[in-house]
A and B are shown apart, each in its own frame.
Chain A
Amino acid sequence: MSTVMEEQGMPETTPAPMIRLHNVEKSYPYKGGQTWVLRQIGLEIQEGEFVTIMGPSGSGKSTLLSILGMLDGDFGGEYWFDGKPAHGVSNKERARLGKENVGFVFQQFHLLDDLTVAENLDIPLSYRNVARKERDARVAEMLDRFQIVGKKDLYPTQLSGGQQQQVAVARAVIAEPRIVLADEPTGSLHWKQGEAIMELLRELNAEGTTIVQVSHDERVAAFGRRVIEIADGWINADRKLV
């Protein structure tokens, strides 16, 4: 059902990857020594892929995701995004690269409770200096596309978990990122709601958005086409789903 692909076994004709990690390592000082979270991570992700990172709790999945999302610059090794380095650059430069290319979906939805659905959708645009008129138009379009127009003036606490995650996905893509990183996107939902969210992500992927998600649920992983398994900070396996 799946094949293990070694990095050095990649055909030379493969287009330049969107993401290329080389020997990425991450550790924290602990009791006078170091505790390793990620070890010698080598990884390439092409544009348009739908990748699931799997592994037990504490294996380093979320840390890897935050490095991929350019939220964490404190790591060793190299991280190239679209041929541009995300390692050894200033926080500002890395944040800019992330802002231009990455959208996030979180397990806990992380909507802002004090803002309405529409206002939550507006946040990423407001941070990208998009003109007010265009922002309004994009928010309206997104509400329409995700079929949540009727909920635009509600606050997150007035929505179900599934609806909140729906809004969170809409918010992740509203700024038209090239890649969406999802950390356990269905982890706080029951399966019916989770399935709907995964359908959404699959649709987005079909439209060209690269998706990288973290999950430990095989049903969720099945929506993607590639699985990277991590244990104790090492990549154990990298397989394609057929």
Chain B
Amino acid sequence: MLRQALRQLGRRAGLSVVMIVMLALGLGATTAMYSIYHEVLVRPLPVAEPERLVNLGAPGPKWGSASCGIAGDCQHIFSYPMFRDLEARNTAFAGMAGFSEFDANVAFRGTATPATGMLVSGAYFDVLGVRPAQGRLLTPADEPRVGEAAVVVLSYSYWQEGFGADPGAVGQTLTVNGQRLTIVGVAPREFFGTVWGRRPRLFVPLSMRWLMQPTLPRTDETRTAYWVYAFGRLRPSETTEQASASINALYSGILNEVEAPLNTGMPPAMLEQFRRRAITLDPGALGQSDLRSVSTQLTLLLGVTVLVLLIVCANIASLLLARGVERGREMALRASLGASRGRLAGQLLLESVFLATAGAVASVPVALLTLRGFFAISPGWVVDNLTISVGRESLLFAAVAALGTVVLFGLAPALYATRADLGSVIKGQAAQSVGGRSTAGFRRALATVQIALSTVLLALAGLFAQSLANVARVDLGMNVDSLVSFSVAPRLNGYTPERTAELFDRIERELAGVPGVTDVASSSVRLLANESWNNGLSVDRLAHAAGADTDASLSMVSPGFFRTLSVPLVAGRDFTDADRIGAPLSKMLPRVIAGIDPTLPIDELTTVRRTVQENVYLDRLVAILSGGFAAAATLLAAIGLYAVLAHSVVQRTREIGLRLALGATPQALRTMVLKQVGLMAVIGMPVGLAAAVALGHGVGALLYGLVGYDPAVLTAAVATLCAVVAGAAYLPARRAARVAPMEALRYE
């Protein structure tokens, strides 16, 4: 049976290859998207029993300053004293830990590089259950007092890249933001902290914050400065509810007895809210990250690839069905020789299993290529911070998907092909009895489903493309072309505010002298990079009501800032040199900076146009991927449609010849084929459109400047598909019109 199945596939090698290629495309795209989906939304942290981790949140009013990053919004941060109180008196968890991200300038053996660092509490690694790759990890003993733990743990990749994986690195000294830290160990290879999408190179004790971030005021005893993210590990068999009750009893006590009395001036209603605040516990197996807000887009893209895979399945089912029809006589003969229907169906299914296996194997390179494409259109931070490969889970997914497709595309044809009526076959009417109305109808139904699916995918891709175009057309209020931006952080290198001002001044002067540079300006907040700096402010001669929100976004900018960006001022004038009070300034080119201070690393050197594009990278990603997948789907549907029609013409050669003999004109036969495809389109397209409108409504939040049922987009999708359908029908229709009647009538 095994040999027979292989021989059958080999006999129609061309068709087998076409099916394997289609399967590889469908499975490859789906596997790639699943790999991304799995990495972002499914894969737990590489730590011990990740399902026992919970992330702590602290919603409610916060009176003071807050610094939150990509690990979560400002509802998820605690003040340092509160975190330490909870940690010290914790009975709710087996252990709890805190962390916060920081920017580091790392100097080692005379070279300076920018890096992301993670400030972590002493129990961090212990709570996670992570073991060192080299040396040791941090422990509570590393945090005797604030600012006294001059130790650092390297990430595995940094140890590899920066130290050539030299075990001798442990014990050496590294200068981080001007502080000499002793390397005590290396984290395990797959561990990058608990913030998804961030790959810190360094882990430094939390209590070192004010040495690592020298520009920040010391807040180790300030209960109104919020910046620590916290997580805990449930005890075995402890429920989240039990832990919540326990930690909140503790939290409520500290809030009411210690913190509430400090909030003098807080309006009574707000104070009441403050006293009632409670800690929330969220599942922490995946770690913490704001970047997971992309789940809608990823789910959508995964759904899109599944639709592509369904189209592939329909194509293959259709082709196998056609082959089954051709083999009706063979099946009947086998049946007459004693083969049971189950055995015959089993043989056909076995062929499908071979196809699926070959397709699954061939899908791996397709998946890898798709991932490469994904990274090619992703912004730098995605490329730097994520490793997405076709892992074990993805391969398992591909195997399951392949098995699913076998059932989908192999079963129906197997059942149809083995249904042959022995008598009629022996009389030479196999093609009629097996390939009669029901089989042809089923194949037409499959093609109709493909048209519907393609309509959905084309409409969705159109919506996202149009949305992206709308985003690109948004007036940013400035001219971002020919604008290059970069950042330097001299304060991290120990520059005083005065020296920083001088440095910026000098950089600006020297860059202005570089040929081709027309204007130079600096600001404290990076342009259009989705960053902000908030602070309370007051305006002279303007009184504030008590409790009024005086928080405002601000950026400190240099003279000529508005001129440089071509931003027209509504009133007044641009800053001039006369306005300088020693504010931080900056601008341009690595060589210039290196000439001024070779130890000062340049970060984020890019064009502002690129920054703008990276701001909307998700829209771009969705538009490009959905567009690509829709194009692939439409092409596959066209191939499927062509196959159905072409086979139908071949099957109907006798009928077509007969019709010609009875007086039909070639035009009438062309029309007959076109009518067939027209009927499929007339049914498939409205169904697809209805589904597209429903889906468009569902993804409305992802669209910019248009609604999910945008008539222009839907019309364009339908027009595209009509052209594709007509194209797919053209050759079969032409072939039908060219059938030679006498040959056709002898055709069996």
Contact = CB atoms under 8 A, between A and B. Distances in A.
B742 A127 contact: no
Contact of A127 (B437, B663, B740, B741): B663
Nearest to B440: A114
B661 A171 contact: no
Size category of the B interface is 10 to 19
Given A62-B742, A71-B742, A113 B432 contact: yes
Interface string B639-654: 0000000000000001
B662 A123 contact: yes
B662 A104 contact: yes
A163 B746 CA distance: 21
A128 B654 CA distance: 20
Interface string B713-747: 00000000000000000000000000011100110
Nearest to B428: A108
Contacts of A72: 740-742
Contact of A104 (B437, B661, B668, B740): B661
A123 B746 CA distance: 20
Contact of A171 (B654, B662, B664): B662
Contacts of B437: 114
B387 interface: no
Given A110-B658, A113-B432, A124 B663 contact: yes
Contact of A157 (B432, B655, B665): B432
A35 interface: no
A66 B746 CA distance: 11
Contacts of B658: 106, 110, 112
A211 interface: no
A144 B664 CA distance: 25
Interface in B411-442: 432, 436-437
Interface in A93-142: 95, 98-99, 104, 106, 108, 110, 112-114, 123-124, 127-128
A168 B664 CA distance: 16
A71 B654 contact: no
A185 interface: no
Given A110-B658, A113-B436, A128 B663 contact: yes
Contact of B662 (A108, A127, A157): A127
A233 interface: no
Given A113-B432, A157-B432, A71 B668 contact: no
A175 B740 contact: no
For the residues of B in contact with A, the DSSP-based class is helix
A127 B664 contact: yes
Contacts of A128: 663
Nearest to A71: B741
Contact of B661 (A63, A69, A92, A112): A69
Contact of A95 (B654, B665, B740): B665
A124 B662 contact: yes
Given A113-B432, A113-B436, A66 B742 contact: yes
Nearest to B424: A157
Contacts of A110: 654, 658, 745
A127 B672 CA distance: 12
B84 interface: no
Size category of the A interface is 20 to 34
Nearest to B432: A113
Contact of B659 (A108, A127, A175): A127
B660 A71 contact: yes
B662 A71 contact: no
B661 A71 contact: yes
A152 B64 CA distance: 92
A112 B655 contact: yes
Contacts of B746: 62
A99 B662 CA distance: 7
A175 B745 contact: no
Nearest to B748: A108
B432 A127 contact: no
A13 to B, nearest CB: 35
A81 to B, nearest CB: 16
Contacts of B655: 112
Interface in B622-677: 654-655, 658-665, 668
Contacts of B741: 66, 71-72
A71 B742 CA distance: 7
By CB atoms of chain A within 10 A, which of B662, B668, B740, B742 has the most?
Answer: B662
A127 B661 contact: no
A108 B746 CA distance: 9
Nearest to B746: A62
B661 A123 contact: no
Contacts of B745: 106, 108, 110
Interface string A148-191: 00000000010000000000000100010000000000000000
A117 to B, nearest CB: 15
A124 B311 CA distance: 39
A58 to B, nearest CB: 12
Contacts of A62: 742, 746
Nearest to A100: B663
A123 B665 contact: no
Nearest to B436: A113
A66 B743 CA distance: 10
A127 B436 contact: no
Given A71-B741, A71-B742, A72-B740, A127 B665 contact: yes
A234 B125 CA distance: 99
Contacts of A69: 661
Contacts of A157: 432
B668 to A, nearest CB: 7
Interface string B336-363: 0000000000000000000000000000
A204 to B, nearest CB: 17
A104 B665 CA distance: 16
A69 to B, nearest CB: 7
B325 to A, nearest CB: 14
A62 B743 CA distance: 11
A157 B421 CA distance: 13
Nearest to A74: B740
A169 to B, nearest CB: 13
Contacts of B436: 113
Nearest to B431: A113
A194 B704 CA distance: 76
A20 to B, nearest CB: 21
A141 B746 CA distance: 31
Interface in A54-80: 62-63, 66, 69, 71-72
Contacts of A175: 663
A112 B660 CA distance: 13
Interface in B662-710: 662-665, 668
Contacts of A99: 663
B727 to A, nearest CB: 26
A159 to B, nearest CB: 13
A118 to B, nearest CB: 15
Contacts of A171: 662
A114 B432 CA distance: 10
Interface in B59-108: none
Contacts of A71: 660-661, 740-742
Nearest to A110: B658
A95 B666 CA distance: 10
A167 B301 CA distance: 57
A155 to B, nearest CB: 10
Nearest to A63: B742
Nearest to A113: B432
Contacts of A92: 665
- Nearest 10 A/B pairs, CB to CB: A127-B663, A66-B742, A99-B663, A71-B741, A124-B662, A110-B658, A127-B664, A71-B742, A104-B661, A123-B662
6 contacts: A71-B661, A72-B740, A108-B745, A124-B662, A128-B663, A157-B432
Given A72-B741, A124-B662, 4 more contacts: A69-B661, A95-B660, A127-B662, A127-B664
